[in-house]
């Protein structure tokens, strides 16, 4: 929760963009946090927010089970901005009328402003915005006026000057909306009068205080992988509870080439953290033998992580907490929603893949942060760039980059191919320019010819993407000569590979990882 600083509260009605709204506000150096629709006006008042934003959502406001909110929130006198579903809910709860539109508006739409307003201060008269709705406000509540209309003459933005309530039918928080961040800044600073008092420094200070209060004299273990998320979580929690934190690095047999060597060097020589290394290769690989379904893989790996920790701490005293570097995109894809309904895309081993009978309490200081925010935090904590800018590596490791059944031979092939991909991207000076660069092994073989002889071997898929936060991603436009060099090296240096292909799918519709 925010303390000694201004807060913009986001009420989450289940939109896929809800956390993105909070992130955009935090980019203004103003603290923002998500709250469920069940929060009451009385509870909100205790937080003294400078403003309230109502998110979008997948429901229609007239649906029987559609999420509502305490109507008194609209009478608090605090500036409110409704987005998409938020605009429709405001209209309905204040006496307006919402119904299904004859024409749906999805994607890029041009809007034109009808009158000047603080919300659109310094915004050009016509802009392209991102729409995603099938319902529309047909009748405005009393005291509301139109601020903008779409090309189809539909309401795009409305406001009530008397109530200090503003609403937009589009999504200013997404990158597709032109000058969307300016609209949010106008709401935060010109309408809410918030002050830019939040930063990663204050987040670190608040987090340390919270962790001290939550954990007290109890002990915690940290699942340390060497990535920026778990590394930053370990350093942050160590600042809060000191030697009551013990870090474990688990070699699952699913790690990248030379991963164990690099982790030991970094944390033994540079951090001097209390890290215990566990060789659990046989344990994990035996459990995964014959398993092809990706959800089963994730569940097995999630459970084995916990069981491994439980076995590792026997005789070391009582540990009550498990520290994890879980990020918000992990939570979203695992369908753990703050406010609305969500559909599970895949179970991240550290979110929905954890066993139900787990005895540890979870300590996840970055659960509401995106990757780029954690990187900024890690720099504030003094972590070296080698860790800060490491490409994300999934908790299940190479298990979800081998499509289908996992074998030791496939792991050897993928490790060697993946090492070449990362080495060439780094040598080309592109490592910091792309979000992730890795190899995927498919469970099929194809005919090739090498040295005038027929081969029947595996294909390797190159997956190289650009992204800001992993919520969306696009395939990276890598120079052809670099792709050629990677492909030739893999075919020449990795046994049992005779073909290399490049994945040019974006997210959505694909995910970054293949499983």
**Does 481 appear as a known binding residue?**
no
Return all residues near 352 (Cβ < 8 A) that are at least 6 apart.
334, 335, 336, 344
**Does 226 appear as a known binding residue?**
yes
* Burial zone of 17 (CB within 10 Å; 0-12 exposed, 13-18 middle, 19+ buried): buried
Counting every residue written for the chain, the total comes to 515
Among candidates 228, 187, 176, which has minimal Cα distance to 53? Answer: 187
What would the two tokens of residue 455 be?
């081969």
Annotated catalytic residue within 33, 136, 159, 171: 171
Calculate the CA 472 to chain-centre distance. Answer: 9
What SS3 class is residue 190? helix
Is the dihedral angle over the CA atoms 468, 469, 472, 476 positive or is it negative?
positive
Outline where 155-227 has alpha helix (H).
180-185, 200-215
Residue 75: count of CB within 10 angstroms of its CB: 11
Helix (H) or strand (E) holding 31: strand 31-35
Annotated catalytic residue within 28, 84, 192, 222: 84
> What distance in Å separates the CA atoms of residue 233 and residue 238, rounded to the nearest whole number?
8
What would the two tokens of residue 298 be?
């994730």
Known catalytic residue at 310: no
> What distance in Å separates the CA atoms of residue 472 and residue 491, rounded to the nearest whole number?
31
Annotated catalytic residue within 33, 173, 303, 373: 173
Judge whether 149 and 131 are in contact, CB under 8 Å: no
Residue 196: count of CB within 10 angstroms of its CB: 13
Helix (H) or strand (E) holding 220: strand 220-223
**Does 225 appear as a known binding residue?**
yes
CB-based contacts of 183-186 (< 8 A; 24+ apart in sequence): 183/119, 183/120, 183/123, 184/21, 184/24, 184/25, 184/28, 185/28, 186/118, 186/119, 186/120, 186/121, 186/122, 186/123
> What distance in Å separates the CA atoms of residue 425 and residue 434, rounded to the nearest whole number?
9
> What distance in Å separates the CA atoms of residue 91 and residue 101, rounded to the nearest whole number?
15
Interior angle at CA 412, CA 407 and CA 415, nearest 5 = 120
**Does 61 appear as a known binding residue?**
no
Among candidates 154, 158, 155, 151, which has minimal Cα distance to 127? Answer: 151
Known catalytic residue at 162: no
**Does 231 appear as a known binding residue?**
yes
Pairing relation of β-strands 80-83 and 31-35? unpaired
Known catalytic residue at 173: yes
Phi and psi for 109 in degrees, rounded to 5? -140, 140
Provide the β-strand partners of residue 361: 321
**How far are the Cα atoms of 98, 363, 459 from residue 323, in angstroms, in the given order?**
45, 5, 38
> What distance in Å separates the CA atoms of residue 83 and residue 153, rounded to the nearest whole number?
18
Quick check: bond before 508 cis, omega within 30? yes
Catalytic residues: 84, 171, 173
Q: Binding site for ATP: residue ranges? A: 225-231
């Amino acid at each position: 929760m925010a303390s000694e600083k201004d807060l913009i509260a986001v009420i989450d009605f289940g939109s896929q963009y809800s956390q993105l709204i909070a992130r955009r506000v935090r980019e203004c150096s103003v603290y923002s946090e998500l709250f469920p629709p069940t929060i009451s006006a009385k509870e909100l008042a205790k937080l003294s927010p400078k403003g309230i934003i109502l998110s979008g959502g997948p429901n229609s406001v007239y649906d029987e089970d559609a999420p509502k909110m305490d109507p008194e929130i609209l009478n608090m006198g605090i500036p409110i901005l409704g987005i998409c579903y938020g605009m429709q809910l405001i209209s309905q709860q204040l006496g307006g009328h919402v119904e299904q539109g004859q024409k749906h508006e999805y994607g890029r739409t041009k809007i034109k402003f009808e009158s000047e307003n603080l919300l659109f201060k310094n915004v050009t008269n016509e802009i392209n915005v991102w729409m995603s709705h099938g319902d529309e406000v047909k009748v405005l509540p009393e005291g509301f006026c139109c601020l903008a209309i779409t090309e189809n003459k539909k309401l795009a933005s409305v406001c009530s000057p008397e109530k200090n309530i503003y609403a937009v039918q589009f999504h200013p928080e997404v990158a597709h909306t032109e000058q969307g961040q300016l609209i949010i800044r106008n709401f935060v600073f010109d309408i809410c009068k918030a002050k830019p008092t939040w930063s990663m420094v204050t987040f670190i200070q608040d987090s340390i205080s919270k962790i001290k209060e939550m954990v007290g004299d109890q002990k915690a273990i940290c699942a340390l992988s060497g990535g920026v998320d778990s590394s930053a979580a370990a350093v942050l929690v160590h600042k809060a509870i000191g030697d009551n934190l013990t870090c474990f690095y688990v070699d699952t047999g699913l790690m990248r080439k030379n991963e164990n060597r690099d982790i030991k060097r970094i944390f033994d020589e540079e951090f001097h953290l209390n890290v215990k290394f566990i060789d659990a290769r046989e344990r994990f690989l035996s459990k995964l033998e014959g398993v092809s379904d990706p959800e089963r893989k994730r569940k097995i790996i999630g459970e084995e992580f916990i069981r491994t920790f439980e076995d590792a701490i026997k005789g070391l005293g009582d540990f009550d907490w498990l520290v994890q570097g879980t990020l918000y995109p992990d939570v979203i894809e695992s369908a753990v929603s703050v406010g609305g309904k969500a559909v599970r895309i895949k179970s991240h081993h550290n979110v929905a893949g954890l066993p139900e009978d787990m005895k540890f309490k979870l300590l996840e200081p970055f659960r509401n942060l995106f990757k780029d925010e954690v990187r900024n935090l890690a720099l504030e904590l003094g972590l070296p760039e080698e860790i800060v800018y490491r490409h994300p590596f999934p908790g299940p490791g190479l298990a979800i980059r081998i499509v289908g059944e996992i074998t030791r031979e496939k792991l050897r092939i993928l490790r060697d191919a993946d090492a070449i991909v990362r080495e060439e991207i780094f040598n080309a000076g592109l490592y910091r320019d792309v979000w992730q660069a890795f190899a995927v092994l498919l469970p099929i073989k194809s005919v090739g010819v090498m040295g005038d002889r027929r081969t029947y071997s595996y294909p390797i898929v190159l997956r190289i993407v650009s992204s800001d936060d992993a919520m969306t991603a696009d395939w990276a436009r890598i120079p052809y000569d670099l792709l050629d060099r990677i492909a030739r090296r893999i075919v020449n240096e990795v046994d049992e590979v005779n073909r290399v292909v490049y994945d040019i799918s974006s997210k959505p519709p694909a995910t970054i990882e293949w499983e």
